[in-house]
Amino acid sequence: MELLLFIVRRFLRLVLTILIISTIIFFVIRVIPGDPALVVAGIDASDDDIQAIRVRLGTDVPVGVQYVRWLSDIVRFDFGESMISGASVNKLILERFPLTLTLAVLGIMLGIIVAIPLGVLSAVHRWSFWDYFGMVYSQMGMAIPSFWLGLILLLVFAVKIPLFPLFGSDSLKHLILPAIALGFARAAVILRLTRAAMVEELSREYIITARAKGLTDRMIRYKHALRNAMIAVVTITGIQFGYMLGGAIIVEQVFSLPGLGRLFLYAIYQRDFPLIQGGVVFIAIVFSLVNFAVDILYSVLNPKIRIS
Amino acid sequence: MLEIKNLNISFVQGEKEANALRGISLSLKRNEVHSLVGESGSGKTVTSTCIMGLLPTPPGRINSGQIILNNQDLLLLEEKDQRQIRGKEIAMVFQEPARYLNPTLKVGDQITEMLILHLGMSNIEAVDRALEILELVGLEGGKRILDSYPHELSGGMKQRIMIAIAISCNPAFLIADEPTTALDVTLQLQILNLMLSLKNTLDMGILFISHDLRVVHDISDWVSVIYAGRIVESTSRKELFTNPKHPYTRLLLESIPDADKRGQRLQTIPGKVPDAENIPGGCAFHTRCPIAEDICKTDLPETKEVGSDNSGTSHTAACHFIGKQWKN
């Protein structure tokens, strides 16, 4: 019951967040100098053409009316049509989203599978081989840029040793290398945090109690300490996942994957305003949803949170 | 009986060595409260940590001594065998229940995990037993309490839960390290009474570690006073409070606030406990002692029988000048 109330409260907050973000996006785009219709129409366009584009963009009416229309569009998840292809923005985004989502999920899974066990191992056996390995890994992970790692991965595992395909996005196999390139740095962050959280939890007083109870080391580490350490780990993992969804642009470019990142990049190149607006709102919604999910998971792990 | 014999412990860090315990001996009988009294830094907590086998080595180092339970020296046992004793034969209650309970585990789990581990109970048996224990420590609400997280309970309830955890496997001995210090006065009294009644019902020996002489007076059968890693005086509660022999004990007793002394300046002992790295030679207390003479700076006083009555109660103290008068 307490948990349900918490979820409802967080959901209302989610709606409010999206409303605020949409408002900011609306005004930021209006503040950018220049009439979008002029940009679209080009210098040689006649006044009638420009006016026609304004009507299509909906910029022919006062800002207040535009804002109300904008909000009602968002409530109905209607972001209009692309000015370049004429297809609905929704359709364009939903066509590309599964690929980016799959990539991010693979990336975060890779991060979790590598980082959390290694982080726990590093904390439990401090200054051991695994701890040093973890340190070297996390230093490298944070220092190596993902586009460079992507290129090297392609060069080694697609060209020299052709284990993976060089292009395309048809099968899971195509996504392994991009997921590694995307997840490598994220895993480094999760690893550092897992180690730090676990070291801190192991030094808490309740661990002394657990030892005084005569519990085995396994129980102390994995039942008592890890449970508490996971609170911080889940939060950071969620944030990293959000990053991946929004930040796959570079990796998608390196691997020529037709994901959201590329879609928005070209939208910006071509000044496709409805698509840019829709894209930013979409990413904001996805990011908020990820945070919402993390909050709920967090409160399941940390009973104290639910009260406040 | 739990016997600590001549326990000597150092903490070593690089070149530095801190002599935390310098030959502590004490014994704890079942159905008895033996208090270990001293200022902070005197070695109380090191003693309890070592009895529990929780002393980290390094930096800790056991130079000599024995801790005897059921004819075996706990210090010689392997970690695996020590674990069988921790929580099952000797249990411990800590000062701040809020910090010593796991915040993300339900109280019930924190009690039943010991029953399952040490007594091989099934989950259902363990829950039933946990409900009995809750009644024993005076917590009403049964299942509802077992399903709570520590932060949902009050401070007094949390300390009762700590005690419930400690007594769950019917330990022969309980070490209570300042169990009431973090509680307010009315709760202190409740917890002390609870511990006394549990001592009787469970026939349990309690090593009560405290710096609060009033609490010690209320609860103890026997009292040992510790100073700079040595026991300077040890006798029955009555004898200690009516006939203290060691100057340190006398000063401690005089520094208890008392309604009869209203209007007078509260006595304090000048100086502080020497830190374990720089313990003065001879009698460690000579730097603060009102009756110290030259011999106190050079010779360590032996612990000797100083009892004056013929009741047979043992009364030992370690001072060169037992009975010497001093000017106030």
Nearest CB to A215; choose among B92, B96, B113:
B113
Tens digit of each residue's pLDDT (9 = 90 or more) over A136-187: 999 998 899 888 999 999 899 988 888 788 777 777 788 888 899 988 888 9
- What are the residue ranges spanned by the domains of chain B? 249-328
Average pLDDT (A93-106) is 90
What single-letter amino acid sits at A307? I
Tens digit of each residue's pLDDT (9 = 90 or more) over A280-300: 888 888 888 888 888 888 888
Tens digit of each residue's pLDDT (9 = 90 or more) over A178-220: 899 988 888 999 999 999 999 999 999 999 999 999 898 889 9
Residue A57 has pLDDT above 80, yes or no: no
pLDDT of res. B112 = 92
Per-residue pLDDT band at A247 (split at 50, 70, 90)? low
What single-letter amino acid sits at B271? G
Using a CB-CB cut-off of 8 Å, the residues of chain B touching A206 are 99-103
Using a CB-CB cut-off of 8 Å, the residues of chain A touching B85 are 214
Domains of chain A, start order: 1-89+267-308 (no CATH), 98-258 (1.10.3720.10)
Cβ–Cβ gap B104/A228 under 8 Å: yes
Q: Chain B within 8 Å of A30 (Cβ-Cβ)? A: no
d(CA B188, CA B99): 18
d(CA A215, CA B110): 11
Q: Name beta bridge partners: B208.
A: B35, B176
Cβ–Cβ gap B96/A223 under 8 Å: no
As a dihedral over the C-alpha atoms of residue B245, residue B248, residue B249, residue B255, rounded to 10 degrees, the angle is: 130
DSSP A29-66: HHHSSS-HHHHHH-TT--HHHHHHHHHHHTTTS-HHHH
Report the relative pairing of strands B2-13 and B72-73 from DSSP bridges. Answer: unpaired
Q: Chain B within 8 Å of A208 (Cβ-Cβ)? A: yes
Strand order in the sheet with B90-93: B90-93, B173-177, B205-210, B33-37, B222-227, B230-236, B315-317, B304-305
Cβ–Cβ gap A224/B105 under 8 Å: yes
Nearest CB to B54; choose among A208, A231, A301:
A208
pLDDT of res. A173 = 82
d(CA B316, CA B73): 25
Q: Chain A within 8 Å of B84 (Cβ-Cβ)? A: yes
pLDDT of res. B110 = 92
pLDDT of res. A307 = 55
Tens digit of each residue's pLDDT (9 = 90 or more) over B152-178: 888 889 999 999 999 998 899 999 998
The residue ranges of chain B whose pLDDT is under 70 are 308-311, 326-328
Q: Name beta bridge partners: A88.
A: A81
Name the DSSP class of B101. Answer: S
pLDDT of res. B293 = 80
Per-residue pLDDT band at A305 (split at 50, 70, 90)? low
pLDDT of res. A306 = 61
d(CA B70, CA B84): 13
Q: Chain A within 8 Å of B54 (Cβ-Cβ)? A: yes
End-to-end alpha carbon distance in chain B: 41
Tens digit of each residue's pLDDT (9 = 90 or more) over A3-18: 788 889 888 988 898 8
Cβ–Cβ gap A214/B149 under 8 Å: no
What single-letter amino acid sits at B109? D
Q: What ipTM was predicted for this assembly? A: 0.87
How many CA atoms does the CB half-sphere of B228 hold within 13 Å?
Answer: 20
Cβ–Cβ gap B114/A227 under 8 Å: no
Q: Chain A within 8 Å of B151 (Cβ-Cβ)? A: yes
Name the DSSP class of B216. Answer: H
- In this complex, how many residue pairs, one in chain A and one in chain B, have their CB atoms less than 8 Å apart? 79
DSSP B89-153: TEEEE-S-HHHHS-TTS-HHHHHHHHHHHHH---HHHHHHHHHHHHHHTT---HHHHHTS-GGGS
pLDDT of res. A46 = 81
Cβ–Cβ gap A205/B103 under 8 Å: no
